[in-house]
């Protein structure tokens, strides 16, 4: 497949589709273009011509539903650039394209990331050291086929985005010159779950389930080498310091034996299934509680039996102890006898004495 002057290509994660970027040619007479090509037929599915382009960066969504192309364009004076996005809806008829510009199109775009298997994406934009983070969705109930802004977080110490593999949660990370700032954010609720830090962190890796995330300091730095494991909502679970630490990788999760239709059915009827398993869990819990009670009862009975044996032996040897003391009982037993008696004692206490002279 011959493409003159191509500078970048990206595969769709799910389909045999190649996206490619060709810069402007002939001093600007021939526009730059982004094209989608079917493989192996080499049929061009869609093409978009772009003008005054300085650079392009392509981002595929994990399900292959969308392609975002960040386009850096020259201003009219050619002295500076500004950025925007061309958003391709791959699965829709004729692959429609939307153009997205930020509220301030002169904002520098620092990072971009699609939500895995979802319809949302996040963008870090603005000036360091406190850029903004904006969230958008490609699909809403009101605007099914139009990109919509969900909200913007102002002045964040972040320069990298890490979505959970299951979506919904994202880490706004400040790596490199931000020294490992971490903000665990719930995009559904648009609220921060935790703000913390892994000093000098260089790598962030979610586990395949989306339940845990690991942050690491690799041997890029000479100090603080090791890794930390967090829960999805930012709770510290485990920390290991290890010299000459190079890489951390989670074990991949095996492919599901269930079809997508079956998984969807289970998700829809989860409450029905959960009632069954909650009842089973309760039965097991009650059984364990009963076993625990029986165990405690047996231990108590064993203890009381042991105490009664020693009390009986102590009583049997009482006479023998008295004989050894020439008829005197022991101090301990005397105290016990006195403790059993109730004595009433009367006493007078002089509180004050006053001498008074009485004159007749």
Q: How does pLDDT run across 155-174, given as a tens digit for each residue?
A: 999 999 999 999 999 999 99
Contacts 24+ apart (CB under 8 A), 78-82: 81/54, 82/106
Q: What are phi and psi of 64, to 5 degrees?
A: 70, 15
- Provide the pLDDT for residue 117: 86
- For residue 98, the SS3 value is strand
Do residues 112 and 70 touch, judged by C-beta distance below 8 A? yes
Q: How far apart are CA 133 and CA 159, in angstroms?
A: 9
DSSP conformation letters of 154-204: -S-S-SEEEE-TTSSEEEEEE-GGG-SEEEEEETTTTEEEEEEE-TT--EE
Of 24, 28, 21, whose CA–CA distance to 7 is shortest? Answer: 21
- Provide the pLDDT for residue 107: 92
- Provide the pLDDT for residue 178: 87
Alpha-helix runs per DSSP H in 199-269 = 260-268
- For residue 26, the SS3 value is helix
Of 65, 66, 57, whose CA–CA distance to 84 is shortest? Answer: 57
Contacts 24+ apart (CB under 8 A), 171-179: 171/204, 171/213, 172/124, 172/133, 173/201, 173/204, 175/201, 175/202, 175/204, 177/129, 178/129
- Provide the pLDDT for residue 132: 96
- Helix axis angle for 260-268 and 270-316, nearest 10°, is 60
Q: Tokens 């042991």, residue?
A: 306
pTM: 0.72
Chunk the chain into consecutive blocks of 10 residues (it has 360) and report each block's average pLDDT, rounded to whole numbers.
92 96 85 95 94 94 96 88 94 94 91 94 92 93 80 94 96 90 96 95 95 93 91 96 93 89 87 85 88 91 93 87 78 59 70 72
- Provide the pLDDT for residue 280: 87
Q: How far apart are CA 213 and CA 206, in angstroms?
A: 4
- Provide the pLDDT for residue 334: 61
- Provide the pLDDT for residue 192: 96
């Amino acid at each position: 497949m011959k493409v003159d002057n191509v500078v970048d290509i990206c595969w769709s994660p799910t389909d045999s589709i190649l996206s490619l970027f060709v810069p402007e040619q002939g001093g600007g007479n021939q526009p730059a273009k982004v094209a989608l090509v079917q493989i192996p037929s080499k049929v061009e599915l869609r093409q978009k011509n772009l003008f005054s382009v300085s650079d392009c960066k392509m981002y595929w969504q994990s399900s292959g539903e969308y392609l975002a192309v960040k386009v850096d364009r020259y201003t009219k004076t050619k002295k500076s650039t500004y950025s925007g996005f061309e958003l391709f809806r791959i699965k829709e008829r004729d692959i429609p394209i939307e153009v997205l510009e930020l509220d301030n199109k002169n904002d520098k775009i620092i990072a971009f990331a699609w939500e895995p298997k979802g319809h949302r994406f996040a963008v870090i934009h603005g000036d360091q050291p406190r850029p903004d983070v904006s969230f958008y969705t490609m699909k809403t109930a009101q605007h099914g086929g139009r990109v919509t802004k969900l909200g913007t977080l102002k002045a964040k110490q972040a320069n990298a985005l890490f979505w959970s593999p299951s979506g919904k949660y994202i880490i706004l990370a400040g790596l490199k010159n931000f020294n490992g700032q971490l903000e665990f954010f719930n995009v559904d609720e648009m609220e921060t779950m935790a703000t913390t830090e892994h000093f000098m962190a260089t790598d962030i890796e979610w586990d395949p389930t989306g339940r845990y995330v690991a942050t690491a300091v690799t041997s890029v730095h000479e100090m603080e080498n090791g890794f930390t494991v967090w829960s999805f909502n930012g709770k510290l679970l485990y920390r290991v310091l290890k010299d000459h630490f190079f890489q951390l990788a989670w074990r991949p999760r095996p492919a599901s034996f269930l079809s997508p239709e079956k998984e969807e059915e289970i998700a829809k009827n989860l409450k029905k299934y959960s009632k069954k398993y909650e009842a089973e869990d309760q039965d097991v819990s009650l059984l364990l509680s009963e076993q625990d009670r029986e165990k405690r009862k047996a231990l108590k009975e064993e203890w009381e039996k042991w105490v009664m044996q020693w009390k009986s032996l102590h009583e049997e040897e009482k006479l023998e102890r008295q004989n050894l003391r020439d008829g005197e009982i022991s101090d301990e037993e005397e105290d016990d006898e006195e403790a059993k008696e109730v004595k009433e004692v009367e006493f007078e206490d002089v509180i004050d004495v006053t001498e008074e002279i009485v004159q007749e």
